Amino acid sequence: MSQKQTPMIQQYLAEKEKQPDAFLFFRVGDFYEMFFEDAKKASQLLELTLTAKNKNTDNPIPMCGVPHHSVQSYIDTLVDQGYKVAICDQVETPQDTKEMLKREIVQVVTPGTKIDQERGENNYLTCIETSSQGYVLSYVDLGTGELQCTELETEEEVINECGQLQTKEVVRVHPLPTSLEEKLKERFSLIFSDHEAGEISRWSSLLENIVRPELRQCIADLLGYVADTQQCNLDHLQPAQYYQVDFYLQMDYYSKFNLELKKTIRTGKAEGTLFWLLNETKTAMGKRQLQRWIDRPLVKKAEIVARQEQVQILMDHYFERQRLVECFKGIYDLERLVSKVALGRVNARELGQLKQSLQYLPEIIDLLEEMEIPTVKHWKGYLPSLMELTDELEQALVEDLPLSTQEGGMIRKGYDATLDQYIEATENGVQWILELEAKEREKTGVKNLRIKFNNNSGYYIEVSKAAAKQITDERYIKKQTLANSERFSTVELKDLEKVLLEAKTKRIEREYELFVTLREKVKAQGPWLQRVAEEIATLDVLQSFAVLAEERNYCRPTFNEEHELKIIDGRHPVIEKVMGSNEYVPNDIVMDKNTYELLITGPNMSGKSTYMRQLALTVIMAQMGSFVPASQAKLPLFDQIFTRIGASDDLYSGKSTFMVEMMEASEALRKATPDSLLLFDELGRGTATFDGMALAQAIIEYIQQRVKAKTLFSTHYHELTVLADQFSEIKNIHVSAKEENGQLIFLHKMQPGAASQSYGIEVARLAQLPEELLIRAEAILQELESKEMTSTVVDTVQETKQENIDSSKEDTMSTVDMVAEEQLSLFQEEEEKVPDFCQELEQLDLMQTTPLDALLLLHRWQKEWRER
């Protein structure tokens, strides 16, 4: 690019330098063009033809372009792939200058500032900065006006919050720790956008609720980036609100992933999730609100009960609720419309959608008053002014509105006297020409006289060569002589031409002026419109809860402070919807105030994981304010949910399934409180049997002694079930199954006590492993179960017990310790009567006995001894 460039390319390069990390869409006539490397890359991403400017020179410039009328779809494609697009428009018209048109970047569209999101989706732009306490985080949805901030202590909390927000772009004023940036990029594929520090004083009106200087600066930095990229005022943004993550039921990134709250693990789609189940909303605002509530269930009983009360009212008023739903169906996305109005990006059709939406407000308020829903009192203050706005929009806008605001056809006749003149001129212009043509024929006597129009000559009178001799009137001015005709004009025709040509331009200009005036009137009502949108969103979610409760026979849960958990006939809500209520087997989950843990045993595929997820989803639904899938539900209020369900490697970080298990368990055990809910599924299975069993038992004991949180712990280590005999806070339950005619049948019913066997081979048979393999497995199993143990095993147990006593100051003992102690005391106290298995100990060949053989024998002897 060392060669001298044309003025236009110089202009392009100057603007490109301002946004080097963005595709520059450079307006040239009816196209947006890209040059150099932008053109090469965009042609591949957008499947455009790559051509060249100055093809005949030694250094042609790569070029591609898109039509201006369809540019938005191309911008969306690039932004959705994580790129930025700088829009460089012509800011002058040919009438303004005789020089090259001036062009400037008028907007930068980024993944975090895009406002035309899919219906019902938030798009959060986030700013993260280090602070004296750890981190501060702020976020904004430019499309809805939501502005929030919080404080976080650790990197993991920052990652969890970004995961919850599903942010795609982070504003960075100062470098963040490398480890945090790498984790954010790996997990969420977001982009970092560097920007200079913002001025706090510039945003004082939006910061009035925020006290801490670090938070105020973080928000100012975020808003400074938004203002610079969008090149417009941000009047629609709501004052920043501070929140703490513990204001809500906390769930980390992994727990939400495992519970499939909004995306399934297998497909990454909404179908089959809790959101999919609950989403009976009818508006885009309601859909977004539902997703926020799923991410952030409540922890305060009064707030939950207030939602429950409104759900009950809506259930009790079926017909009014149905009319309310019909109103909601006609309401467009008010939040996004208000934002587009404030940003100056609303089109004519969208203003019509706003008008249509506001027309439903009086009926909605009447219905709320009939049902005596408390929310209605908030509406009374701003309804009159909104109704005045609705009337004005109704009087001003035509029914069938165009998309463009630059081509006229938006404003009704009778709304503005000046516009009416222009409308009359454009609509009656043809008739005026025909009337003038008839009058000139009569005056001249030329029957084939015609008044015609073209872009070069404008309006003119045309007659044939022969008839031209009859034109003797001095009013006629010759314009052009053709082979077969002559063209003339008159003062009257010129005046009429001026009126007609100006009328079209003036009409478009006047309509746009009136449109801008209407837009400003809507903008002035922005805060009230945002309040209406919020109220409608909340009511929409609550009616969705009412519909589900009624159709699926959900019950209203109650909450207690005694840590009692009692769910009768509980169901997994999503699976029940898929299977049908007649097919699903309900189960109770009962834990009194003194029960901390349920140890769940049973065959694979029998429903243990479903049982655990069922409880978590029930808790989340209850603390959202929804009714729950059960015939009765009595719950404590939980502050956090931790899960370890399913097996997955963290390939990005090179962590195995077992390492991921241990990290998630560690996170839960460090952060859980007695008010938390822990769900551990097959913890410890990713390592050697004894290592896994030891870790599983230690975790169970740690929860029982230190954490004291409600915990569901499923396991195939049947040896751990003896813990229920040693600790009253631990209970055994199992999933029942039976064998009929050699086939394993899952009953999917929870029963008290431990499972008698694991049915591993039967499950493998259901998976259709080769029969020869299964027969061999059964033979090996019988061999293992029949092998015996010598007294050396007791010696080994004694040594293990002594080592544990010497190396640990904890009060607890392992299962092996307790069994050994029980066995040793037995031998000491009953010397005269030797137990039957002592002979087995003497005859056992220790060199041929594996650790697993020894453990199985020890377990059998313990069982035999207890049955004596």
598-616 average pLDDT score: 86
Structural contact between residues 33 and 71, judged by C-beta atoms closer than 8 angstroms: no
Instruction: Establish if 446 belongs to a structural domain.
Output: yes
Same domain? 580 vs 695: yes
Assess whether pLDDT exceeds 90 at residue 468.
no
- Indicate the pLDDT class of residue 761, thresholds 50, 70 and 90: low
Residue 59 pLDDT = 81
Domain range for 478: 417-517
Tokens of 14: 């100057």
Same domain membership, residue 209 and residue 176: yes
pLDDT, greater one: 711 or 406: 711
Q: Express each pLDDT in 329-380 by its tens digit.
A: 999 999 999 999 998 889 999 999 999 999 999 999 999 999 998 877 777 7
At 57 the pLDDT is 74
709 and 579 in a common domain? yes
Q: What size, in residues, is the chain?
A: 868
What value does the mean pLDDT take over residues 641-661? 63
Which of 76, 109, 142 is where one domain is finished? Answer: 109
Q: Is 347 annotated as a binding residue?
A: no
For 561-573, what is the mean pLDDT?
95
Residue 604 assigned ligand-binding role: yes
**What does the pLDDT read at residue 780?**
63
Q: Is 606 annotated as a binding residue?
A: yes
What percentage of the chain reaches a pLDDT higher than 90? 55
Q: Which whole number is the average pLDDT over 629-635?
A: 97
User: Which of 752, 720, 750, 724 is CA-nearest to residue 737?
Assistant: 750
- Mean confidence (pLDDT) of the chain: 85
602 in a labelled binding site? yes
What confidence score (pLDDT) does residue 132 get? 92
Band of the pLDDT at 757, cuts 50, 70, 90? low
pLDDT level of residue 800 (50, 70, 90 thresholds): very low
- Residue where a domain terminates, one of 224, 247, 270: 247
Residue 257 pLDDT exceeds 60? yes
pLDDT category, 93, cuts 50, 70, 90?
confident
Residues 601 and 750 in one domain: yes
Residue 767 lies in a domain: no
Q: Binning pLDDT at 50, 70 and 90, where does residue 683 land?
A: confident
Which CATH number fits the domain that encloses residue 646?
A: 3.40.50.300
* Same domain as 686, residue 576: yes
Output the domain CATH number for residue 377. Answer: 1.10.1420.10
329 domain-assigned: yes
For the stretch 134-159, pLDDT in tens is 999 999 999 999 999 999 999 989 99
- Using CA atoms, how far residue 675 sits from 559, 678, 708, in Å, is 13, 10, 8
CA distances from 461 to 440, 456, 457, 470, 748 (A): 9, 14, 11, 14, 92
Same domain? For 704 and 620 the reply is yes
Per-residue pLDDT, 27: 93
Residue 414 CA to its chain's centroid (Å): 46
User: Which of the two residues, 696 and 124, has the higher pLDDT score?
Assistant: 124
pLDDT at 791 over 60: no
409: left (phi over 0), alpha (psi -120 to 50) or beta: left
Q: Are residues 606 and 708 in the same domain?
A: yes
| Domain match, 205 and 225 both | yes
* Mean pLDDT across 312-324: 96
290 and 408 in a common domain: yes
- 603 assigned binding-site residue: yes
User: Which of 801 and 162 is assigned the larger pLDDT?
Assistant: 162
**Domain assignment present for 314:** yes
Tell me the mean pLDDT in the region 270-280.
Answer: 94
In total, how many domains does the chain have?
Answer: 6
Which region among 388-392, 485-489, 691-695 has the lowest average model confidence (pLDDT)? 691-695
Domain boundary among 74, 109, 144: 109
Residues 530 and 430 in one domain: no
Average pLDDT on 729-738 reads 85
Whether 171 shows a pLDDT value over 80: the answer reads yes
Residue 596 has pLDDT above 80, yes or no: yes
Residue 778 lies in a domain: no
Distance CA 410, CA 654 (A): 60
Greater confidence (838 vs 207) lies with 207
Q: Which residue has the higher pLDDT, 88 or 604?
A: 88
Residue 696 lies in a domain: yes
Helices (H), 332-382: 334-343, 348-358, 361-371
What pLDDT, on a 0 to 100 scale, did the predictor assign at position 765? Answer: 64
CATH number, residue 216:
3.30.420.110
Tell me, yes or no, whether 388 and 331 share the same domain. yes
Q: Which long-range contacts (CB under 8 A, 24 or more apart) does 779-784 make?
A: 784/852, 784/853, 784/856
Q: Do residues 328 and 184 share a domain?
A: no
Is 607 one of the annotated binding-site residues?
A: yes
- Position 670 in a domain: yes
Give pTM, 2 decimals.
0.81
pLDDT at 819: 38
Asked, for residue 614, whether it belongs to a domain, the answer is yes
| Token pair belonging to 564 | 């009692």
Q: For 365-376, how does the pLDDT look when each residue is reduced to its tens digit (9 = 90+)?
A: 999 999 998 877
